[in-house]
Chains A and B, each alone.
Chain A
Amino acid sequence: MSQYKIIFTGPVGAGKTTAINSISDVAPIKTDAAASDMTKNRKASTTVAMDYGVMNLAGGEKIHLYGTPGQERFDFMWDILTVGGIGLILLLDNTRADPFQDMRFFLDSFGQFIADTSVAIGVTQTDLSSKPTIDDYHGQLQLLGLKPPVFAVDAREKNDVSLLVQALLYSLDPGLTG
């Protein structure tokens, strides 16, 4: 069976785990170990490489939801993670000092995958920090020659996350009907 997936990426704290949890049909596999000391408590049974969720579709198919490790942009596996990927959801935290820099970094890191598929950008924490605005993000994207969907997203809100993923799908094919 083909492994189809949607990849969630973004800096630490942007809401990847929360967003996956919002639309996953199963409780996402926890990825954060309780202990922070790296020299101790390396228990293989409690540590996983990335966040994971799943959407069960009609007919038995599954869509895997992968959240990339975002800790300090520790970015392994970009080159294999995207295999079988339908598209990319990029979540950006609007309270970070330079979210534009974050955006450029992830768009560049996944550049080839985005060119082959599509990306939709969700800006989180806009209720805590109203600037930069969504229009500001579009201005930056215009400089990069990109016009992806950019939405304000509360990662806890299933509707917000769902709309963002819908936009990703429609940008792949506007003719989709669901």
Chain B
Amino acid sequence: MKKGSKVPLRIALYGMDDRACKTMEMYLKGPCQGIAVVTGETDADIDMIDADNVRAKEILETRRASTSNRPIILLSLQNLQIENTFFIKKPVNVAQITNVLDRIKATTPSLKVEPSHNIKTTSESPIKVETVVQPTPEKPQKVAMEVYANKPAGVKHIDNLERQKTAKHQSAMQLNEGGFTAFLGTVSTIDFDDPTHWANAHFDPKQYFLGYVLAAIKTAKQQTRVLQLNSIWKSLIVFPNTQEIWLDADDKQLRSFAGMALGAGSSSNMTLTAADTAITVNRAMDKFQDMNAFVWKVAIWTSKGRFPVGIDINQPIFLKRWPNFTRLVITPDAMRIAALLVQSPRTATEVISLLNTKPQYVFVFLSACHTLGLLGQKEPQIVETVATEQTAQITKPKQGLLSKILSKLRGA
């Protein structure tokens, strides 16, 4: 071999499964540009141990006993300070590996000479390896390997009861345009195609079952106890600690009642009582629903494309966070609207314009989010600047790769 040519170091791997070994092999060959290669135990210049392996301590002792003068590299999430080893903190990167291997070469005489010409066995020239600590901004915390290696896997207790509540964990129903009208129903007094009608397209939740449900939930949470909402219809049970609703009714029945404006005297028919816990524990598991998902769909059925009082469609609003869409009824364009309002505040009318979507879609989405407390409002003077800056970015729907992916995912 010509003098000066780079001969890769040979590293034996320990404490890693086949996939990790293969990954390291490819990593050294690729990003690390062949600075080292993975070999077997016999031919290696360096031992590399995954110190997060549960047997790491045993492996280290074995390696030291077998090849006491061979440099050892430890990989770990923790900052390790163990004598006569080199340390690389995870996540590993090219710079770290290169740096450590260079230091090993500098401090290990046998590795400075091309191995093919003059290989000194470790038994002939014992080499002391200096302790090297990976530089870190803070002082490394000394962690005994056995303490970390024996850290329990930490799997929590599995809640088998939770698994029986199948209605809570069903995947979302996504409504297309045709399904939206059928699912929601319509409001004949409002022409949504006429923007002058939009300001009047509101409803008061207190005049509907939704209002009583929200009040029941609020009271149950305040009192931290299970409460039963009794009405002219079916009884509904609120479980505040587990965030669940129990109701023996299908969606068709619930939708009909939710969309019904209750008369002025309806409050006398609505009572809130403590639930009999002895009975509640024997309730049918499949009647349990996630509280947020339940309230969300009741809000949608109540809205029918309108927005709740309290929202000014000409004042900027924003989403505090994304709704958990996989467990909610997804109205048309809901995810686009969510993405826009999470990014920055917009007025409802701006959202309609920017996304070129129907006002009913925006209003029903706002109704559902408002019910879950996901909406916030911003001062107009602040928002105007942001809206102006960002409008140009999305005034035109983006076609191309992302749209193709979207079409694929939506089954188009």
Which A residues fall within an 8 A CB radius of B? 4, 23, 31-33, 35-36, 38-39, 41-42, 44, 47-50, 55-59, 61, 63, 69, 71-80, 86, 95-98, 109, 126-130, 133-134, 138, 141-142, 147-154, 157, 159-160, 162-167, 169-178
The contact sample of 18 A-B pairs, CB cut-off 8 A, is A44-B22, A59-B404, A61-B401, A71-B17, A74-B90, A76-B24, A95-B158, A127-B165, A129-B162, A151-B324, A151-B325, A153-B326, A163-B325, A174-B339, A174-B355, A175-B395, A176-B336, A178-B410
- Per the bound structure, the CA–CA distance linking A122 and B374 in Å amounts to 19
**Cβ contact within 8 Å between A80 and B30:** yes
Q: Which residues of A contact B41 (CB under 8 A)?
A: 39
**Cβ contact within 8 Å between B23 and A74:** yes
- Per the bound structure, the CA–CA distance linking A169 and B400 in Å amounts to 12
The yes or no answer to B340 lying at the interface (CB within 8 A) is: yes
**Cβ contact within 8 Å between A130 and B159:** yes
CB < 8 Å neighbour of B154 from A48, A79, A97, A141: A97
- Per the bound structure, the CA–CA distance linking A151 and B330 in Å amounts to 13
With contacts A57-B404, A71-B20 taken as known, whether A78 is within 8 angstroms of B158 at the C-beta atoms is no
Which B residues fall within an 8 A CB radius of A? 13-24, 26-27, 30-31, 41, 50, 52-53, 77, 90-94, 152-159, 162-163, 165, 168-169, 171-172, 174, 242-243, 320-322, 324-327, 330, 335-340, 342-343, 354-355, 394-399, 401-410, 412
**Cβ contact within 8 Å between B402 and A173:** yes
Q: Which residues of B contact A176 (CB under 8 A)?
A: 336, 397-398, 402-403, 406
Most buried by A among B17, B330, B397, B399: B17
Q: Which residues of A contact B403 (CB under 8 A)?
A: 176-178
Closest 10 CB pairs of A and B: A97-B154, A178-B406, A174-B339, A170-B339, A175-B394, A174-B340, A75-B91, A33-B18, A151-B326, A178-B407
A-B contact count (CB 8 A): 228
Say how far A124's CB is from chain B's closest CB, in angstroms.
11
Say how far B368's CB is from chain A's closest CB, in angstroms.
15
With contacts A129-B159, A153-B326, A178-B406 taken as known, whether A69 is within 8 angstroms of B23 at the C-beta atoms is yes
Q: Which residues of A contact B168 (CB under 8 A)?
A: 127
**Cβ contact within 8 Å between B394 and A173:** yes
- Per the bound structure, the CA–CA distance linking A71 and B91 in Å amounts to 13
Say how far B83's CB is from chain A's closest CB, in angstroms.
24
**Cβ contact within 8 Å between B22 and A128:** no
- Per the bound structure, the CA–CA distance linking A141 and B320 in Å amounts to 12
With contacts A134-B324, A178-B409 taken as known, whether A78 is within 8 angstroms of B93 at the C-beta atoms is yes
Q: A174-B337, A175-B397 are in contact. List 14 more A-B contacts (CB 8 A).
A: A49-B19, A74-B16, A76-B23, A96-B156, A109-B91, A127-B169, A128-B162, A142-B321, A151-B324, A154-B169, A163-B325, A169-B405, A176-B402, A178-B407
**Cβ contact within 8 Å between B27 and A77:** yes
- Per the bound structure, the CA–CA distance linking A148 and B20 in Å amounts to 30
- Per the bound structure, the CA–CA distance linking A152 and B168 in Å amounts to 11
Say how far A157's CB is from chain B's closest CB, in angstroms.
5
Q: Which residues of B contact A31 (CB under 8 A)?
A: 19
Measured CB to CB, the nearest residue on chain A to B97 is: A76
Measured CB to CB, the nearest residue on chain A to B24 is: A76
Q: Which residues of A contact B326 (CB under 8 A)?
A: 151-153, 159-160, 163-164
- Per the bound structure, the CA–CA distance linking A167 and B402 in Å amounts to 12
CB < 8 Å neighbour of B163 from A71, A73, A128, A160: A128
Q: Which residues of A contact B325 (CB under 8 A)?
A: 149, 151, 163, 167
**Cβ contact within 8 Å between A58 and B407:** yes
Q: Which residues of A contact B406 (CB under 8 A)?
A: 166, 169, 176-178
Measured CB to CB, the nearest residue on chain B to A25 is: B408
**Cβ contact within 8 Å between A72 and B171:** no
Say how far B86's CB is from chain A's closest CB, in angstroms.
17
Measured CB to CB, the nearest residue on chain B to A150 is: B322
Q: Which residues of A contact B396 (CB under 8 A)?
A: 175
